[in-house]
């Protein structure tokens, strides 16, 4: 396949007709023709079908009232655009016309994009403002109060304009504080990025560092057209202001100019001079206020003292003299003390008469009679209790003897006294049958003298009769039939 463009001078085939081209030859020939004829073009139109692809590319369509053309912004160019492509935005783009052979259509590869006209700028600004307001960046609750007496004021503005001179002059006349200026450009494409960097730099300063951290920031710029003030409508700048921790006053343009930073900042000043007045108090006014408050406090204190003095004087006139109070108390004490002796004597005489009256009724017989009654009652109870207690003791003794005999009959060591032995395994469990023991298994044998010997099982049990140990042992003597045979205790 060749990329040569088709021409009318090529030879014909055997039938005399022009040589047929493949679809690819024609498509790529048209592609080169478009790119050679239209290297770079500027187009103005309205954006539609804007698609931000996941891979970073932006696909869109530029249209006017009679035609439309597809466009694409590659990922590497998207970050350099001055505006964000949005549906319905009227823009002027610069790019290269090319063809898309797989789809038989042409398109423009966009490299730059700018808003066409103030109306489109304001429409884009309104959409951005609505989106940020929906996120809560304009809420009054998130705005920080401006400090009353700042020690350090940070100013973000151009160092060469009249704005910085007005701010410095106004602050010098009002309040003695330190002013730190972060120089930036306030117009053009680089303005928004430099102002963002300045705000982040001020917020990144550590308290107590070599460069003092400002207590309040002022972002200022003089008046201008909508295009001149447009960097202060940048979305990244608005988010940077919202994320800052230092209170910020915006003073961009004149009183009638409004930018996006005015809605996000903590306070908006109509002019840079007004911003300096908002950030600082007037020292002379504070001094006068302190003097006035001191005088009012002195006068109030004097009135309180005079009021207390008058109340004390009034109370003094109403109170009796101390000697008069003491004389009245002394008189009452003398009267009471004179009556005290006679009262004590009468009280003693009354108690003495009561004691004599009670003593005449008391005699030894009066105390011995209840004692004799209680003794007679105790004797009768003792006579009745002796037989019953004796019978109860006999019953308890018989029960105790029965329990002792029962204990002796179930004593596990009692059979050992008659020649038996107790065999237990290593874990302490008793052996009830010889067939349950394995050859070589260790056992413990306890005898009647409470002596325990260790042993090891040797050989196995005989299948039809007693083992070797049972055969070697002599036959037991026949026992007298004294009753039913004794059962196995184990």
Rg (CA), the chain: 60
The residues, any chain, with a CB within 8 Å of residue 217's CB and separated by 6 or more, are: 153, 154, 155, 156, 199, 202, 244, 246, 247, 248, 249
The angle that helices 162-174 and 272-279 make with each other, rounded to 10 degrees, is 30
What pLDDT was estimated at residue 117?
A: 66
467: which DSSP letter? -
Specify the fold of 23-117: OB fold (Dihydrolipoamide Acetyltransferase, E2P) (2.40.50)
Give the mean pLDDT of 194-205: 95
**Average model confidence (pLDDT) across the chain:** 82
Give the mean pLDDT of 381-407: 86
Tell me the C-alpha distance between 126 and 130, whole Å: 6
User: Looking at 72-81, 257-266, 325-334, which range is the least confident one?
Assistant: 325-334
80: which DSSP letter? T
Question: Which sequence spans correspond to the domains of the chain?
Answer: 23-117, 142-281
The angle that helices 235-243 and 191-204 make with each other, rounded to 10 degrees, is 10
Q: Give pLDDT tens digits for 214-224.
A: 999 999 998 87
70 CB-contact burial (10 Å; exposed 0-12 / middle 13-18 / buried 19+): middle
Q: Which of 149, 146, 62, 67 is nearest to 109 (CA)?
A: 62
Q: Give pLDDT tens digits for 131-146.
A: 899 999 999 999 999 9
The tokens for 262 are 């005015």
Over 90: is that where the pLDDT of 269 sits? yes
Outline where 67-190 has alpha helix (H): 75-78, 118-134, 162-174
Q: Which of 247, 260, 248, 80 is nearest to 157 (CA)?
A: 248
State pTM to two decimals. 0.45
Specify the fold of 142-281: Rossmann fold (3.40.50)
Tell me the C-alpha distance between 234 and 190, whole Å: 11
User: Looking at 317-321, 340-344, 416-420, which range is the least confident one?
Assistant: 317-321
**Which DSSP helix (H) or strand (E) runs through 369?**
helix 364-409
Tell me the C-alpha distance between 126 and 260, whole Å: 10
CA 190 vs. chain centroid, Å, equals 40
């Amino acid at each position: 396949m060749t990329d040569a463009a088709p021409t009318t001078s090529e030879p014909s085939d055997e039938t005399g007709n022009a040589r047929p081209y493949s679809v690819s030859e024609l498509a790529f020939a048209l592609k080169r023709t478009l790119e050679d004829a239209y290297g770079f073009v500027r187009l103005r139109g309205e954006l539609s079908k804007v698609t931000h692809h996941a891979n970073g590319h932006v696909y869109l369509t530029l249209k006017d009232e009679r035609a439309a053309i597809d466009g694409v912004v590659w990922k590497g160019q998207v970050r350099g655009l001055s505006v964000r492509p949005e549906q319905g935005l009227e823009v002027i783009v610069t790019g290269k016309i090319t063809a898309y052979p797989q789809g038989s259509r042409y398109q423009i590869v966009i490299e730059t994009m700018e808003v066409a006209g103030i109306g489109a700028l304001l429409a884009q600004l309104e959409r951005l403002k609505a989106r940020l307001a929906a996120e809560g960046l304009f809420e009054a609750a998130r705005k920080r109060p401006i400090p009353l007496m700042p020690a350090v004021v940070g100013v973000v503005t151009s160092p060469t304009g009249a704005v910085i001179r007005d701010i410095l002059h106004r602050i010098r006349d009002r309040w003695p504080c330190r002013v730190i200026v972060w120089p930036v450009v306030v117009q053009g494409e680089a303005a928004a990025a430099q102002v963002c960097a300045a705000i982040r730099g001020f917020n990144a300063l550590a308290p107590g560092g070599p460069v003092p951290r400002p207590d309040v920031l002022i972002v200022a710029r003089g008046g201008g057209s909508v295009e001149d003030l447009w960097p202060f409508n940048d979305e990244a700048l608005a988010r940077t202001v919202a994320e800052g921790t230092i209170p910020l006053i915006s003073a961009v343009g004149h009183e009638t100019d409004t930018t996006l930073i005015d809605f996000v900042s903590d306070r908006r000043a109509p002019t840079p001079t007004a911003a300096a007045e908002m950030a600082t108090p007037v020292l002379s006014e504070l001094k006068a206020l302190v003097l006035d408050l001191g005088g009012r406090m002195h006068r109030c204190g004097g009135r309180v003292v005079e009021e207390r003095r008058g109340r004390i004087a009034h109370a003094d006139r109403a109170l009796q003299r101390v000697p008069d109070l003491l004389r009245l108390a002394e008189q009452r004490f003398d009267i009471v003390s004179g009556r005290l002796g006679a009262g004590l004597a009468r009280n003693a005489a009354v108690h003495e008469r009561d004691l004599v009256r009670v003593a005449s009724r008391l005699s030894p017989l009066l105390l011995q009679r209840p004692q004799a009654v209680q003794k007679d009652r105790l004797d009768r109870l003792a006579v009745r209790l002796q037989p019953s207690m004796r019978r109860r003791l006999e019953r308890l003794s018989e029960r105790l003897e029965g329990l002792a005999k029962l204990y002796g009959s179930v004593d596990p060591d009692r059979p050992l006294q008659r020649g038996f032995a107790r065999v237990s395994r290593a874990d302490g469990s008793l052996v009830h049958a010889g067939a349950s023991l394995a050859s070589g298994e260790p056992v413990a044998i306890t005898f009647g003298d409470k002596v325990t010997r260790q042993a090891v099982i040797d050989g196995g049990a005989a299948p039809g009769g007693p083992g070797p140990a049972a055969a070697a042992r002599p036959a037991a003597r026949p026992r007298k039939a004294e009753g039913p045979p004794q059962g196995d205790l184990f």
